[in-house]
Structure 1
Amino acid sequence: MDMSDNRVNSSVGYVYDSRSHSNLSSLEKNCNQIFLKGPALTRDFFDKIQNDVVPPKTEFFGYTMSTRRFFLLTALFLLFTFSCMGTITMWFTNVYKKQINSMLVISEESETYEMWRAPTVKSYLKIYIFNYTNVERFELRKDKKLQVKELGPYVYQETIEKVNVKFNKVDGTVSFQEKRVYTFRPELSKGSKYDSVMVPNIPMLTSASFARQYNFFLRVSFSTILTSISAKPFIKLTVDEFINGYEDNLYDLGKNYLKFNDMRVFEHFGLLALKAGLQPDIVTLNTGLHNINKLGQVEKYNGEREFTFWNTDSCNKIRSSDGVMYPISDVNKKADLEFFMPHMCRKIPLNYNNSVTILDNIPVHRYKFPANVFDSGYENDHFCYCTNDDGSCPPHGIFNATPCAFGSPLFYSWPHFAESDPDLLEAVSGLRNNFSVDSFIDIHPKLGLLVGGKIQFQVNVQLQKSYGILQLNPYPNNLMIPTVWIEGVLDSKDIPQDLLTIIYAMTFTVRNVELGLKYGTLLTTMVTLTCIFLILKKRRDIRSHPHSFGRDIEFDQ
């Protein structure tokens, strides 16, 4: 071996072979050079950028300062500007609330569309039936008053689905029909749906009311028809027949008359049969697209903006809440509200009562129905509903829905004629004279959404006599016959999880985010402003005392 070609590095203890090094390619040699000299090149590059591209000093509002400090002030000014804008937005405008409310707009693209179209909320109808126990004795004049016994409740779960949905983005409305299904809930009911009851024969009493407008000979002919089919003022049925519908010979005979007069015809007559299935009525709601405070407002009913049944324009106007969604602004102000009741063809007022909490401390506003909501007399604001044929008004506490019921003599009141004329209570035996009305609804203030409540009302039929109809002779004229009273219940405990998630988010999450943004932007504004002030103050102090430390202090150092 030629030792001359080898060099020994005694300090590190290894032999360096120059021949092996000479065999490296040019690319490898260049990479090694870059690797060895990289840190130095990087440092030189940034030094050049700092000295040549970015000036070491910057003029700022008459001050000379280092560029680093200038960048710091610029960042603080930008942060101050944005936080100040955020503070103004959160504290002095409604931009945040409007943005949140815009998420409630009814739209096919909305995440809550299916919840609106086919709500999974469980609502129930508790039906209490007045069973007449002495009809035969009364007709034989052995008893002076009709006797009733309250049966029930018979509970039905109501499921509502909106079908044939059509949006109109020009005026911000949506039109639809409702499909209703009623399911008997025996475990919640008191009694069987096969219980036998004696109830008013509403088709017969309605026909007798229509017959009053005809001459005597036609009324006698009508009485003969009633005798031939054994139709009487009261009829014995099962609970299921009375509620879900039954075949009635008189009703079948009258179908052609109803069709000729453009009246609604159902296959069978029954209390809920009139509401079950696909409803022919077309409801037009405001989606809130153009004005969130009109969300859920009924704009049209069967294409009409007002009725022609009542005596004043204000009572004929339809525009009011659909009963589920209410104007958020009015709810927040705790103002009185109104909702549309289709089977009465009128608006129902609601008065703010108090604020309560439901579920896990969710605050809601509770509204109650006025005690005189069913009045129609001239001594109150409801005189527009005074529509008796003879020009008189119904008794105190009674609402005449005959114009809305295609001429059927239907009247509404509180259950057991509570808050009504005492004579109504005395006309029939077995009614409670101490019934306590408990009707209210709970509305979420952030959503304007119905989240619970209870609505009670009684359906009555008036027996209207006319000379020639013998079947009505044993009864006094204009006798108000209580038929059923109904309690619609929406328990907040039955709210489905998908809706509950939204309620919790609007109650707590949105509120916490709002508070975080409000106080976060305010705090950031104060901190950044303080920092800017301190930096500028320090510069002024240094310029005022350049030799305070015994030497000339440069602000840019």
Structure 2
Amino acid sequence: MLGFFSLAAGCFILFLRPYDFFFNQKAVFQDQGEIFEMWRKPEVELYTKVYLFNITNAEAYMAGTEDIIKVKEVGPYVYREALEHKIVNFNENGTLSAIPFHPLTWVEELSEGNKEDDMLFLPNIALLSIANVVSTKDFMTRFGLNNLITVTNSQPLARMTAREFMMGYQSPLMTLGNTFLPGWIYFDKLGLIDRMYDFNGDFETVFTGETDVTISGLIDTYRGSTDLPQWEGKHCSNVQYASDGTKFKSGVGKNESILFYRKSLCRAAPLIPVEEGVRSGIRGYKYIFPEHMLDNGKYLEDNKCFCRKGRCLPDGLIDVTDCYYGFPIALSYPHFYQGDQVLFSKVQGLHPIKEQHETRFWIQPESGLPLDVSSKFQINMALGDITNINNAERFANMYLPMLWFDIRMYTLPPSLEQRFKLYLNVLPIVEQVAMYLLFVTGACLIFLTVYILTFKVMFKSLDKNNFPNDPWSEKPNGIYAPCEAPLDEKILKLNHKINGIYDTIIRDEMKNNRNSNDLDKYMAVNQSDSDEDCKYLEVVDDGSEFDDVKPQPSKVKDLSEKKGSVHLAD
């Protein structure tokens, strides 16, 4: 019975997979659930590392003595990102509504000696942005802006601190911008990182995994739609089933691609697996962006929908103007890595290196847990023909790099690492070992039971009651002294015949021997069961009968020499 129970338990594990049920229950988002709480407010340490491009020949370039802008990378300037999803409510359709928050905190100890108050020569985003927008307007609008630039003496390159450039600086042009473009902007300070992390008014719905546990944590809609409004065509606009980097799709195959969405990217970007390895003691896949991901139709026809208003940027740039308040912003990989050579035509000092500038994600495939993240992009200005705007003429039709950033998660925190090692490394092995042990134990118990029952039936007839003539059963303990063991009928008959032959030989010899002194040699021996007699008596039974055996004198001599031992020959 125990054997069948063990086999049944093994089959239960084999077919129902209790570990999968246990893990899936944890993966479903529900209030106070373990995985849900990790997604709502991740314990991981997430950093944004910013590298600025300081223009080393700003005065010479603006004076017209040099035709190439020379830049030098400065950084990192490191901020910690405290990601949080504030939950509005759980919906009945298997989603939840949330508002994303990404507040930043300056981390000086990780900034490698760089300070927020470092003075640098950097692009005047306000001037160049307004110049790019107004350059296509009517003459009167351009005339008003040119007068304003002259009065304020605004220059396209300005000396400012690193913090001002990243987190916002005040400019008269920003204050007066709405005079020329009403409703264009609602803020009076402009900073690239500050605008990149502006989530004001954003909301999203996220799958809970109730209907499909593999998509828990993935985006259903962003700002009420599965598509981003700035793109035409599903290939470019879709954000449904994308991850914001907190939790990716679970149960993915080795060759399956996934989607990553970040507001600063202005699109959902595909990630493809290229390698398998171990991070934080947990097995994972390495994902990167596919080749020509930032193409605008030159290599991939489907990517033509990333051309804004019919204007396609060179390969390696994506126009994100509509995501940055109408500023002429374009994204690329750092140092124009994998970009078209035209991007380097007016800028010197960029050195693209794959190991330093390639984005990578290490993700645990069963759970969708990110193990190691390094998302790298560069923010550039893609300026059009602004030759009709004062002080901006030399920046016309230029792709000007401003900064690049690396959203970095180095490793899982120890508490999270130990917990997922248990869930992902230990428990699956325990389940497999338990299943095989139950199968082996059940099979052994069943075999042993069958073996015992089979031999019990086979030897039931061999009970000692079926052997009434068994001579060995006469002794209670089955042990006999020497010569005490009972003889069977054949041996008893043989013994009588030997005694008869022996007596006959002795009598004949006594008659023929006249020397009376020899009579002492032939004394009758009474056979007994004593130890002494048994010591000299050896009987060899060859199976022949003794009725016709005649005494032979030659044998007598042998018998006398053997001191009572008798040998019978044919």
TM-score normalised according to structure 2 size? 0.75
Indicate the residue corresponding to 2:488 in structure 1. Answer: none
Change (3 A) 1:107 1:259: farther
Q: What is the Cα deviation at residue 128 of structure 1?
A: 0.9
Query: How far 1:248 moved relative to its partner?
Result: 2.2
Q: What is the count of residue pairs matched by the alignment?
A: 464
Alpha-carbon displacement from aligned partner over 1:16-39 (angstroms, at most 9, x marks no partner): xxxxxxxxxxxxxxxxxxxxxxxx
Corresponding residue to 1:335 among 253, 256, 260: 256
Deviation at 1:258? Answer: 7.7
The one-letter code matched in structure 1 to 2:154 is: A
Inter-CA distance 83–267: structure 2 relative to 1 (3 Å threshold): farther
Aligned position for 2:340 = 421
Partner SS state of residue 103, structure 1? helix
AA aligned to 1:182 is L
1:401 corresponds in structure 2 to: 320
Structure 1: how far apart are the matches of 2:373 and 2:16?
A: 33
Partner of 2:205: 284
**Is the partner of 2:327 in helix, strand or coil?**
coil
Worse-matched range after superposition: 393-402 or 244-253: 244-253
The equivalent of 1:358 in structure 2 is 279
Structure 2 counterpart SS, 1:139:
helix
Letter in 2 for 1:402: T
Q: Kindly indicate whether residue 431 of structure 2 is the aligned counterpart of residue 514 of structure 1.
A: yes
What is residue 312 of structure 1 aligned with on the other side? 233
Q: Does 1:470 pair with 2:387?
A: no
Residue 382 to residue 418, structure 1, CA distance change in 2 (3 Å) = farther
Other-structure match for 1:369:
289
Deviation of 1:531 (Å): 4.1
- 1:274 matched to 2:171: no
Q: Do the aligned residues in 2 keep the contact of 1:456 with 1:487 (CA within 8 Å)?
A: yes
Matched, 1:109 2:66: no
Contact persistence 2:229–2:237 (CA under 8 A): yes
Distance in 2 (alpha carbons) for counterparts of 1:474 and 1:277: 31
Query: Does residue 344 of the first structure (1) align with residue 283 of the second (2)?
Result: no
- Higher alpha-carbon deviation: 108-117 or 233-242: 108-117
Cα offset for 1:536? 4.8
Tell me the residue number matched to 1:38.
none
The alignment status of 1:484 with 2:441, answered yes or no, reads no
What secondary structure does 1:321 align onto?
Answer: coil
Deviation of 1:479 (Å): 0.3
Q: What is the DSSP-based 3-state SS (H/G/I as helix, E as strand, rest coil) of the residue aligned with 1:273?
A: helix
Could you tell me whether the CA contact under 8 Å between 1:336 and 1:349 is conserved in 2?
Answer: yes
Query: Residues 46 and 80 of structure 2 are in contact (CA less than 8 Å); yes or no, is this contact kept in structure 1?
Result: yes
Higher deviation after alignment, 456-465 or 182-191:
182-191
Contact 1:417 1:424 in 2 (8 A): yes
Q: 1:483 to 1:537 in 2, by over 3 A?
A: same
Which whole-Å CA distance do the structure 2 matches of 1:297 and 1:178 have between them? Answer: 13
8 A contact 1:243–1:273 mirrored in 2: yes
Q: Is 1:214 equivalent to 2:134 in the alignment?
A: no
What SS does structure 2 have at the residue aligned with 1:272? helix
Quick one: which amino acid aligns to residue 225 of structure 2? E
| Residue identity matched to 1:375 | D
Secondary structure of 1:551's aligned partner = helix
Flag the 1:145–1:186 CA change in 2: closer, same or farther, 3 A: same
How far did residue 532 of structure 1 move?
4.5
Shift of 1:334: 4.1
Letter paired with 2:166 = I
Partner of 1:149 in structure 2? Answer: 72
**How far did residue 490 of structure 1 move?**
0.9
Q: In structure 1, how many angstroms separate the alpha carbons of the residues matched to 2:315 and 2:190?
A: 30
1:352 offset after TM fit, Å? 0.9
Aligned 1:79-90 pairs, distance under 5 A: 80=4, 82-90=5-13
* 8 A contact 1:334–1:365 mirrored in 2: no
Q: Residue 94 of structure 2 aligns with which residue? A: 172
Residues 183 and 109 of structure 1: is their aligned pair in 2 closer, same or farther, counting only changes over 3 Å? Answer: closer
Shift in CA distance, 159/490, structure 1 to aligned 2, threshold 3 Å: same
Shift of 1:205: 2.0
- 1:549 alignment counterpart: 463
**Which aligned pairs between 1:36-47 and structure 2 lie closer than 5 A?**
none
Give the SS at the match of 2:170. Answer: coil
Residues 434/534 of structure 1: CA separation in 2 closer, same or farther (3 Å cut): closer
AA of the residue aligned to 2:300 = N
Contact 1:208 1:465 (8 Å CA) reproduced: no
* Contact 1:311 1:384 survives alignment (8 Å): no
Give the C-alpha shift of residue 392 in structure 1: 4.0
CA distance in 1, matches of 2:188, 2:145: 23
The AA in structure 2 aligned to 1:405 is: Y
Report the CA distance shift for 1:87/1:202 in structure 2 as closer, same or farther (over 3 A): same
Give structure 2 stretches of 5+ with no counterpart: 468-570
How many Å separate the matches in 1 of 2:220 and 2:414? 30
Instruction: Please say if residues 375 and 407 of structure 2, whose CA atoms lie closer than 8 Å, have aligned partners that are also in contact.
Output: yes
Q: Is structure 2 residue 374 aligned with structure 1 residue 460?
A: no
| Counterpart contact for 2:141–2:180, Cα < 8 Å | no
How far the C-alpha of 1:228 sits from its partner, in A, is 2.4
1:23-80 CA-to-partner distances (Å, cap 9, x unmatched) read: xxxxxxxxxxxxxxxxxxxxxxxxxxxxxxxxxxxxxxxxxxxxxxxxxxxx43xx61
Tell me, yes or no, if structure 1 residue 198 matches structure 2 residue 121: yes
Deviant stretches of 4+, over 6 Å: 256-259
Residue 142 to residue 96, structure 1, CA distance change in 2 (3 Å): same
Q: Which residue of 2 aligns with 1:501?
A: 418
Q: Cα distance 1:256–1:88, how it changes in 2: closer, same or farther (>3 A)? A: farther
CA-CA distance at 1:552 after TM superposition: 7.2
Cα distance change on mapping 1:145 and 1:327 into 2, 3 Å: same
CA distance in 1, matches of 2:344, 2:323: 25
Confirm or deny: 8 A CA contact 1:181 1:277 kept in the other structure: no
- Decide whether the 8 Å contact of 2:84 with 2:102 is kept in 1: yes
Conservation of the 8 A alpha-carbon contact between 1:160 and 1:180: yes
| Other structure's SS at 2:380 match | strand
For 2:244 and 2:350, locate their aligned partners in 1 and report how far apart those are by CA, in whole Å: 33
Q: Tell me the residue number matched to 2:551.
A: none
Which whole-Å CA distance do the structure 1 matches of 2:141 and 2:387 have between them?
A: 11
- Give the C-alpha shift of residue 435 in structure 1: 5.9
| 1:303-350 deviation digits (Å, cap 9, x = unpaired) | 1111233342132111122222122221x4342222112222211111
Answer whether contact 1:386 1:392 (CA < 8 A) is retained.
Answer: no
The question of 1:182 aligning with 2:101 is answered: no
The whole-number CA distance in structure 1 between the counterparts of 2:405 and 2:303 is 25
Does the 8 Å CA contact 2:249/2:368 hold for their aligned counterparts? Answer: yes
Q: Structure 1 residues 443, 189: CA separation in 2 closer, same or farther (over 3 Å shift)?
A: same
1-structure distance, mates of 2:32, 2:342: 56
- Residue 297 of structure 2 aligns to a residue in which SS? coil
Residue 224 in structure 1 maps to residue 147 in structure 2? yes
Paired with 1:333 and 1:433, the residues of 2 have a C-alpha distance of 29
Listed as ranges, the matches of 1:380-391 within 5 Å are: 380=300, 382-389=302-309, 391=310
Deviations 1:463-484 (A, max 9, x none): 2234642222233x32000000
2:444 to 516, 522, 527: 527
SS at match of 1:254: helix
Higher fraction of strand: 1
| Greater CA drift, 343-352 or 512-521 | 512-521
Kindly provide the CA deviation profile for residues 441-464 of structure 1, in whole angstroms up to 9, marking residues without a partner as x. 111233211111212111101222
Percentage identity across paired residues of the two chains: 27
Cα 1:267–1:298 change in 2 (3 A) is farther
